[in-house]
A and B are shown apart, each in its own frame.
Chain A
Amino acid sequence: MQPSSITSDLAPSVPAVCEHCGDAIGPAPVFDDGRAFCCSGCKTVYEILSQHDLCEYYRYDKNAGVTMKRRSEHQDEYAVLDDPAVSKKVLTFASAHFDRVVWTVPSIHCASCVWLLERFDRLEPGVLASTVDILRKRVTIDFDPRRTSLREIAECMASIGYAPLLRLEGEVRPEYRSSRNLYARIGIAGFAAGNTMMMYLAQYFAGSGGVERPLLIAFRFLSVVLSIPVFFYCAFPWFQGARAALRGKKINLDVPVALGIAVLFARSVVDIATGHGEGFLDSFNGLVFFLLIGRLFQQKAFDALSFDRTYRSFFPLSVRLRTAEGFTTVPIERIEIGSLLSVRNGEVIPCDSVLESESGYIDYSFVTGESVPVECTKGETVYAGGRVIGRALDAIAVRAVSHSALAAMWDRSSHADEVRSPDDRGHRYLKLQDAFGQWFTVVAMAVACAGAALWLPDWATAFNIFTAVLIVACPCALTLAAPITLGSAMGRLGTLGIYLKNTGVLLELEAIDEVVFDKTGTLTAPEPQLEFVGPRLAADAWDAISSIASHSTHPVSRTIAMGAIRDGIRTGDGEVSFLEEEIGKGIVGTSRGHRVAIGSQDFIRSRCRTIDLDIPAGSTAVAIDGEFAGVFRLTTTLRPGIRALIESLRKKIPVQLLSGDSDRDRALFVPLFGDENMAFECRPEEKLERVRHEQQRGRSVLMVGDGLNDAGAMKEAAAAIAVTDDTGTLVPACDVIMRAPSLPRLAGLLTYARTMKHVIEVNFIFSILYNAVGISLAMAGKLSPMAAAILMPVSSLTVLAISVTGARTFLRTVV
């Protein structure tokens, strides 16, 4: 928070930060119980907690609270939860006396949050138990529906700053199954590998020691028993992958791996059953174990961030309909064409409608990127995705939800997915692997056949050579190289506030040769700075201005009011005695003994004694007691570090700016991008077209954006980064989520991606070397089980070591 330029005399004892949320306290702190708070919202939360003896909350993390300054203002946001149709979707389990709900709460961030939310039963009677999953920002609440309701719980959570995220399509159930399966597979494979290795030691030293033959045979059969679950359960993913590839008449890397595993197991079983030898079961189990470890690296996704949110998750669950009897709340799928909707301040219009109210303001920043709200009058069409600002609007639905403009936009952009599924964004990486897989399978088969042919007509030896080559050619280390390198790189980047969707994304970033920025919120500081130009005003005049501005529904007035609150200028709600608003022009009122007028040029002129005023067009002017006082200007500033970032990027690759905003901030960006690389007032379709055009020219475009309005372009681009100030907010279809303070690291990230590709290449070279040694041994008929048992784990361990240390070291030096 920027401290305001208006200072007042502060007592030195006032702490610098709010007791509750840790934000800087402005010159007008709110006191309670001897503690200072930045705003009355934070104070209220403190009071709620202290009433319930929950102040221990503040012990685990200092100033743990969630600031209440940005809280949405309308109270019955959660009224929809009273609708049985809605609550049925939201509840994970429902019965007469026990309901369970799993909610995502974006503001969960620290130990104190866990402490408080797990003691939620004390705040809300009827709650039986609550459990927090901090990484996924989820809270599971069990409650007694006879004593409380979903709505009451949600409202109580919102009142202490932990507003749950409501979704249209019900809560996303925790997807734990696949990771549970992987852990189980690793456990079983590790168990089998350890035990078979122990038993095989006896086999290898049988010659020198006095191990009796019956004992050796017993060990062999025991090893087979241990390996059976590994073959049928642990190695299953590779068989599945290979089968899927072969069905599609393709060969991927799973094919040679599956082939190697199968041959290894079959040959070992045959050897043991015929008494021919001890087989390779220790290598087999170790191999599967290492392969699974590689999978673990690959699967290490960041659960804290959900990448799959679509526009639907920010659409409202339901809407209020105005009927003859009053208001009814219906889920949005049940909106019929012709229904009269009543949409309140801050709510999103669910479907295209025609305005029935006289006038109102709608913020289309989600749709167009333009952040200045639009004024609409009766009879105009208002579009889905617009957010109502100020007074509630009545509108008649003209299209059903799924056919609205925003949904159409979404469907059109997802058309491109027929060519490229968004989930396969790591396609470059998959391609690389598949190409290797094909090449590998062909070469291995050819070498195996050739080796076998050399020994013909000695069929037994030929069979041994053939299988030995296939065993040793199993590209285990090759399979591990990419996932482990990229997986550990991904984990490392997470510590810097850069979250990748999957491991393949890094290779997409590696190939980037053009960067396109979206200005809104990506490069600029999140909140516009409110600047007052004029002579210095007394504190009570400020109070009067902000009190009156807060009564207006005009967006600029609200920004003035909010800005004043944020900067701590406003001390409280000043009483407003006379108030008159001319919609779209200005507002006049009396507060603290001052008659204040805020409004447009003409509005102020008509209310000032001085006629000849120099008010810049388009600004908002203020007059106090009939005298012109000054002008408010909303200015945008760049985020720190952006200048250096753009400069370093432009040295290497072309950088463009495609903004949905009007060009009022053009001057700010000209020195950065150069005039020819900028475009303003781009509609989402235009952004998409431009990105597509660049891609068709053979460029790999990286799209850096923040809003839903970029979703089409983001899907079209080779890679997309969403910049967010708060990981709880909506994230469009993207491959990387970056916390805003990490954005200056973007240039380093691109270099890092390139370095990681080199690390993988080094790994490939090593694993091919190991394979060459193994194959030559096998061709000579000298691949003993012991040689395989040494060679295979050593190659896997080499790859593991190179990958992990590479990802660590380069992160420190490059990013």
Chain B
Amino acid sequence: MNIVLLLILSSVIAAAAFLIAFLWATATGQYDDVHTPALRVLFEDEQPDTQSNLNHGT
């Protein structure tokens, strides 16, 4: 049965690692603004060709 204890302990420690990761993310402000990053992901990579930038909205 000791193996169960070991199992439980290791799973709690693994979960605690995720908790610490969450706390770190909160403390460094990753939850402060959850809206803007969702928009940023839409932006395409910059195109070096300026002409193609100008020919937008066809």
Say which one of A128-136, A318-326, A444-452, A596-604 lies at the interface with B.
A128-136
Check B32–A174 contact: CB distance below 8 A.
Answer: yes
Q: Which of B5, B16, B26, B35 contacts A135 (CB 8 A)?
A: B35
On whether A53 and B50 interact (CB within 8 A), knowing A58-B57, A114-B39, the answer reads yes
One digit per residue, 1 when the CB lies within 8 angstroms of any chain B CB and 0 when it does not, for chain A 187-200 equals 11001001100010
Check A215–B5 contact: CB distance below 8 A.
Answer: yes
On whether A179 and B15 interact (CB within 8 A), knowing A60-B42, A184-B27, A218-B5, the answer reads no
Contacts of A191 in B (CB 8 A): 15-16, 19
In the complex, residue of chain A having the shortest beta-carbon distance to the beta carbon of B51: A53
* A460 interface contact, C-beta 8 A: no
One digit per residue, 1 when the CB lies within 8 angstroms of any chain A CB and 0 when it does not, for chain B 20-48 equals 00110011010111011001101110110
Contacts of B44 in A (CB 8 A): 56, 59
A289 CB to nearest B CB, Å: 13
A38 CB to nearest B CB, Å: 16
B14 CB to nearest A CB, Å: 11
Contacts of A183 in B (CB 8 A): 26, 31
Interface size for chain A: under 10, 10 to 19, 20 to 34, or 35 or more residues? Answer: 35 or more
Check A134–B35 contact: CB distance below 8 A.
Answer: yes
Contacts of B23 in A (CB 8 A): 184, 187-188
Check B19–A188 contact: CB distance below 8 A.
Answer: yes
Interface of B: prevailing SS: helix
Check B5–A58 contact: CB distance below 8 A.
Answer: no
Among A56, A194, A195, A199, which residue has the most Cβ atoms of chain B within 10 A? Answer: A56
Please measure, in the bound complex, the distance between the C-alpha atom of A131 and the C-alpha atom of B32, giving whole angstroms: 13
Check B56–A184 contact: CB distance below 8 A.
Answer: no
Contacts of B12 in A (CB 8 A): 195, 222, 226
Please measure, in the bound complex, the distance between the C-alpha atom of A58 and the C-alpha atom of B53, giving whole angstroms: 10
Contacts of A19 in B (CB 8 A): 57
Check B36–A114 contact: CB distance below 8 A.
Answer: yes
* A111 interface contact, C-beta 8 A: yes
Contacts of B4 in A (CB 8 A): 215
On whether A114 and B40 interact (CB within 8 A), knowing A180-B31, A180-B32, the answer reads yes
Please measure, in the bound complex, the distance between the C-alpha atom of A174 and the C-alpha atom of B33, giving whole angstroms: 11
In the complex, residue of chain B having the shortest beta-carbon distance to the beta carbon of A181: B26
Please measure, in the bound complex, the distance between the C-alpha atom of A460 and the C-alpha atom of B23, giving whole angstroms: 41
Check B33–A133 contact: CB distance below 8 A.
Answer: yes
One digit per residue, 1 when the CB lies within 8 angstroms of any chain B CB and 0 when it does not, for chain A 125-152 equals 0000001111110000000000000000
Check A111–B42 contact: CB distance below 8 A.
Answer: yes
In the complex, residue of chain A having the shortest beta-carbon distance to the beta carbon of B43: A115
Contacts of A212 in B (CB 8 A): 1
A104 CB to nearest B CB, Å: 14
Please measure, in the bound complex, the distance between the C-alpha atom of A118 and the C-alpha atom of B39, giving whole angstroms: 12
* A62 interface contact, C-beta 8 A: yes
Please measure, in the bound complex, the distance between the C-alpha atom of A135 and the C-alpha atom of B47, giving whole angstroms: 28
Please measure, in the bound complex, the distance between the C-alpha atom of A184 and the C-alpha atom of B42, giving whole angstroms: 29
In the complex, residue of chain B having the shortest beta-carbon distance to the beta carbon of A53: B50
* A635 interface contact, C-beta 8 A: no
Please measure, in the bound complex, the distance between the C-alpha atom of A29 and the C-alpha atom of B16, giving whole angstroms: 63
* A328 interface contact, C-beta 8 A: no
Check B31–A55 contact: CB distance below 8 A.
Answer: no
Please measure, in the bound complex, the distance between the C-alpha atom of A59 and the C-alpha atom of B32, giving whole angstroms: 27
* A176 interface contact, C-beta 8 A: yes
Contacts of A58 in B (CB 8 A): 56-57
A117 CB to nearest B CB, Å: 10
Please measure, in the bound complex, the distance between the C-alpha atom of A188 and the C-alpha atom of B27, giving whole angstroms: 13
Among A19, A53, A133, A215, which residue has the most Cβ atoms of chain B within 10 A? Answer: A53
Contacts of A56 in B (CB 8 A): 44, 46-47, 53, 56
Check A187–B19 contact: CB distance below 8 A.
Answer: yes
* A50 interface contact, C-beta 8 A: yes
Check B32–A55 contact: CB distance below 8 A.
Answer: no
Please measure, in the bound complex, the distance between the C-alpha atom of A50 and the C-alpha atom of B19, giving whole angstroms: 47
In the complex, residue of chain A having the shortest beta-carbon distance to the beta carbon of B55: A55
Contacts of A136 in B (CB 8 A): 33
Please measure, in the bound complex, the distance between the C-alpha atom of A203 and the C-alpha atom of B15, giving whole angstroms: 21
B44 CB to nearest A CB, Å: 8
Please measure, in the bound complex, the distance between the C-alpha atom of A111 and the C-alpha atom of B53, giving whole angstroms: 17
Report A48-100 residues with CB < 8 Å from chain B CB.
50, 53, 55-56, 58-60, 62
Check B26–A180 contact: CB distance below 8 A.
Answer: yes
Contacts of B46 in A (CB 8 A): 56
Contacts of B36 in A (CB 8 A): 114, 131-135
Please measure, in the bound complex, the distance between the C-alpha atom of A75 and the C-alpha atom of B8, giving whole angstroms: 68
A601 CB to nearest B CB, Å: 50
In the complex, residue of chain A having the shortest beta-carbon distance to the beta carbon of B31: A183
On whether A180 and B27 interact (CB within 8 A), knowing A55-B56, A135-B35, the answer reads yes
Report A209-242 residues with CB < 8 Å from chain B CB.
212, 214-215, 218-219, 222, 226
Check B53–A135 contact: CB distance below 8 A.
Answer: no
Please measure, in the bound complex, the distance between the C-alpha atom of A191 and the C-alpha atom of B13, giving whole angstroms: 11
A516 CB to nearest B CB, Å: 36
Check A55–B5 contact: CB distance below 8 A.
Answer: no
Please measure, in the bound complex, the distance between the C-alpha atom of A409 and the C-alpha atom of B2, giving whole angstroms: 75
Contacts of A222 in B (CB 8 A): 8-9, 12
Check A195–B15 contact: CB distance below 8 A.
Answer: yes
Please measure, in the bound complex, the distance between the C-alpha atom of A574 and the C-alpha atom of B56, giving whole angstroms: 33
Please measure, in the bound complex, the distance between the C-alpha atom of A59 and the C-alpha atom of B46, giving whole angstroms: 12
B12 CB to nearest A CB, Å: 6
A616 CB to nearest B CB, Å: 48
Contacts of B26 in A (CB 8 A): 180, 183-184, 187
A648 CB to nearest B CB, Å: 35
Contacts of A180 in B (CB 8 A): 26-27, 29, 31-32
Interface residues of A (CB under 8 A from B): 19, 50, 53, 55-56, 58-60, 62, 111, 114-115, 118, 131-136, 174, 176, 179-180, 183-184, 187-188, 191, 194-195, 199, 212, 214-215, 218-219, 222, 226
Given contacts A133-B32, A195-B12, 18 further A-B contacts (CB under 8 A): A53-B50, A53-B53, A55-B53, A55-B56, A56-B56, A59-B44, A59-B57, A111-B43, A114-B39, A135-B36, A176-B29, A183-B26, A184-B23, A184-B26, A187-B22, A188-B19, A222-B8, A222-B12
Identify 16 residue pairs between A and B in the complex whose beta-carbon atoms are under 8 Å apart, listed by A's number: A55-B54, A56-B44, A56-B47, A58-B57, A59-B56, A60-B43, A111-B42, A131-B36, A179-B32, A180-B27, A187-B26, A191-B19, A195-B15, A215-B1, A218-B5, A226-B12
For the complex of A and B, the 7 pairs showing the least CB-CB separation, nearest first, are A111-B39, A133-B33, A176-B32, A191-B19, A135-B35, A53-B50, A183-B26
